[in-house]
Amino acid sequence: MIAVEEVTRTYGDFTAVNDVTFTAQPGRVTGFLGPNGAGKSTTMRIIVGLTSPTTGTARVLGRRFADLPNPGLDVGVLLDASAQHAGRTGREVLTVARKTMGLPASRLEEMFDLVGLTEAEAARRVGDYSLGMRQRLGLAHALLGDPEVLILDEPANGLDPAGIRWMRDLLRGHADRGSTVLLSSHLLHEIEVVADDLVVIGNGRIVAQGTKAELLSAAGTQVSTRQPDQLEGALTAAGIAYTDATAPRSTNAGGLARHTLRVEADTELVGHVAHQAGVALVELRDADGAGLEEMFLELTADTQRDALTSRPEGAVA
């Protein structure tokens, strides 16, 4: 259990984290989502006591992190996989952590097996590791003390697709056994597939939070047509709310532009309305993935570094 209460952190005039409150529950994976520079990492550093909050409190397992007698056994932390001494071997990095926690040496082999680092790779210096190997080592470091809480900042960075799948299963398994898992990402898809709860942060503020199901159900239906005027008229007549979600550079085949609407109704009703109005549809589907993505882009639009001229590839995965 992680409880962040009204945490604010300022640097001079700049407010990196602004009145952030959320909890990560045991048995659930909590996704911490936001664009680069939104305050995810600062919030995580505050949780583990590396940065002190200007105001507010952060507790892990009901205590301040610094009040945990041997925190490595309760909380597994991976904030930056590259933050290891380049001149130490992977095995030595884990040995240092193992000795600090007071664990037996046999634990190392289990961890290397678990994260899929071979004997030879463990004997290499971290400076020679690829980013993916560093992430695996960082995960082994976090899991070493068999902790009840996991705090991972962008753990999928640098992992190949198989590695991402493997990590997702690992985190899922941990949560299913009752652990609290908090992981951050700026990639929506990555979080969407594994998280039970979502906390979306933008510009230092929480812009949305809830269960994934809640956030998805609000998304409705996505419908595309080349006869937008008729469809919009029919929807308005039926009293159904919608928003124009047309991508600016949509295809222009056949002379008629393809328009996309997000409609706050289920697919069956939208299909029925379109049929009644005699509108031909190009696409009709639940807006779940796309909906959350739209929400994420919308909620963070004013904090996004790049203007949204087109749908960014990275967010679709």
Partner 1 sequence: MTTTTPSTSSTPTGASEAHGRPHPTAHPSPRQAAHRPWETRPGIPLPRIVDVELRKSFDTRAGFWLLASIGLAALLTTGAVIAWAPASEFSYSQFTLAIGVPMSVILPIIAVLSVTAEWSQRTGLATFTLVPHRGRVLLAKALAVALVALAATAVAFAVGALGNVVGASIAAIDTVWDQGLADVGYFALGNTLLLLVGFTLGALIRNSPGAIVAYMVYAFVAPGLLAFLAFSQAWFSDARPWVDPKFNQDALLQGGFTAQDWSHLALTTIVWLVLPLTVAVVNLLRSEVK
Residues of this chain that bind partner 1 (CB under 8 A) = 26, 45, 48-52, 61, 63, 65-66, 68-75, 77, 79-80, 82-89, 91-93, 95-97, 99-108, 110-111, 113-114, 123, 125, 141, 143, 145-146, 148, 173, 177-179
Kindly state the smallest distance separating residue 127's Cβ from partner 1, in Å: 9
Kindly state the smallest distance separating residue 286's Cβ from partner 1, in Å: 34
- In this complex, which beta carbon is closest to partner 1, that of residue 69 or of residue 248? 69
Helix ranges restricted to H, 117-227: 119-122, 131-143, 161-176, 188-192, 212-217
List the one residue out of 269, 267, 272 whose CA is nearest residue 284.
267
Kindly state the smallest distance separating residue 162's Cβ from partner 1, in Å: 19
Can you tell me the distance from the alpha carbon of 198 to that of 195, in angstroms, rounded to the nearest whole number?
Answer: 7
Can you tell me the distance from the alpha carbon of 189 to that of 92, in angstroms, rounded to the nearest whole number?
Answer: 34
Kindly state the smallest distance separating residue 140's Cβ from partner 1, in Å: 10
Tokens of 59: 């507790």
Can you tell me the distance from the alpha carbon of 41 to that of 198, in angstroms, rounded to the nearest whole number?
Answer: 16
Residue count of the chain, please give it.
317
- In this complex, which beta carbon is closest to partner 1, that of residue 78 or of residue 195? 78
- In this complex, which beta carbon is closest to partner 1, that of residue 38 or of residue 97? 97
- In this complex, which beta carbon is closest to partner 1, that of residue 51 or of residue 230? 51
List the one residue out of 44, 123, 126, 145 whose CA is nearest residue 83.
126
- In this complex, which beta carbon is closest to partner 1, that of residue 78 or of residue 200? 78
- In this complex, which beta carbon is closest to partner 1, that of residue 99 or of residue 272? 99
Kindly state the smallest distance separating residue 108's Cβ from partner 1, in Å: 8
- C-alpha separations of 222 from 123, 238, 290, 304 in Å: 52, 17, 8, 24
Kindly state the smallest distance separating residue 310's Cβ from partner 1, in Å: 34
What amino acid is encoded at 143 in this protein? L
